[in-house]
Amino acid sequence: AQSVTQLGSHVSVSEGALVLLRCNYSSSVPPYLFWYVQYPNQGLQLLLKYTSAATLVKGINGFEAEFKKSETSFHLTKPSAHMSDAAEYFCAVSPDDKIIFGKGTRLHILP
Amino acid sequence: DTEVTQTPKHLVMGMTNKKSLKCEQHMGHRAMYWYKQKAKKPPELMFVYSYEKLSINESVPSRFSPECPNSSLLNLHLHALQPEDSALYLCASSQDPGGADGYTFGSGTRLTVV
């Protein structure tokens, strides 16, 4: 079964520093891949998605992710962290008629 | 309208109560979903409705009963729940039942079973 693995349940970066959240997928065929963000006591918001059109995907709020088939990775990056980026981030894969989420990474922004 | 609306936002119910959660979208999406999310955990899929028909039931206990009265509305009927069912219940929808465009999520119903 297809799945995603997020490396690091907690990541801390200083405000203004690079954000890198790691995600690896398990699939022999490139799947649909997504990054979602969840702020406290809220639902999930789609940041960006990979659907094979382009390997570098740009999303909202300055985030982007690069699909690397050779590494089976789909890491999320942002050049400069803001305090408002503090949240839970989920990588997700869509193997069939459903989306399966990774365990999530809590991003902490240090002043 | 680009939102999924869930009501109520908070619900406290006893183990013998019957209650319902409601989810509504007016984006013309043809698939709707129920997810359950425990604290500090990822959302777990419960049910998928595709073109108003139940297409996936992830072995959810029968005390949870989904209903899709029309293409815009999704309900989750609750009966005889247990305290361990306390969680955030999230509804989502997508244009494509395959989910290739990603899902639009509601803000959830925080359920507490006492």
Q: C-alpha angle B87/B91/B95, rounded to 5°?
A: 155
pLDDT (mean) for B49-75: 95
Interface of B with A (CB under 8 A): 4, 6, 31, 33, 40-43, 45, 48, 50, 55-56, 90, 92, 97-108, 110
* Per-residue model confidence as pLDDT tens digits over A15-60: 999 999 999 998 766 678 999 999 988 899 999 999 877 889 999 9
| A95: DSSP letter | S
Contact at CB, B102 and A46, closer than 8 angstroms:
yes
Contact at CB, A97 and B98, closer than 8 angstroms:
yes
The SS3 call for residue A105 is strand
Task: Give the pairing of strands B87-94 and A44-50.
Answer: unpaired
Residue that the structure tokens 């002043």 belong to: A111
A54 contact partners, CB below 8 Å, separation of at least 6? none
pLDDT (mean) for B13-18: 94
C-alpha to C-alpha distance for B50 and B21, rounded to whole angstroms:
19
pLDDT of residue A75: 97
pLDDT (mean) for A85-92: 96
The one-letter amino acid code at B86 reads: S
C-alpha to C-alpha distance for B15 and A107, rounded to whole angstroms:
36
For residue A39 the two structure tokens come to 């702020």
Give the mutation candidate from A2, A23, A44, A91 for the B interface (greatest B CB count, under 10 A): A44
Q: Are A110 and A15 in contact (CB under 8 A)?
A: yes
Tell me which of A40-54, A76-90, B79-93 is least confident: A40-54
Average model confidence (pLDDT) across chain B: 94
* Per-residue model confidence as pLDDT tens digits over B20-49: 999 999 999 999 999 999 999 999 999 999
* Per-residue model confidence as pLDDT tens digits over A95-110: 777 888 999 999 999 9
pLDDT of residue B102: 87
* Residues in chain A within 8 Å Cβ distance of B56: 97-98
Contact at CB, B42 and A43, closer than 8 angstroms:
no
Q: Which residue of B has its CA nearest to A87?
A: B40
Task: Measure Cα distances from A42 to A75, B50, B85 in Å.
Answer: 23, 25, 19
- For chain A, helix (H) and strand (E) counts, in that order, are 0, 11
User: Does position B98 have pLDDT exceeding 80, yes or no?
Assistant: no
* Residues in chain A within 8 Å Cβ distance of B6: 43
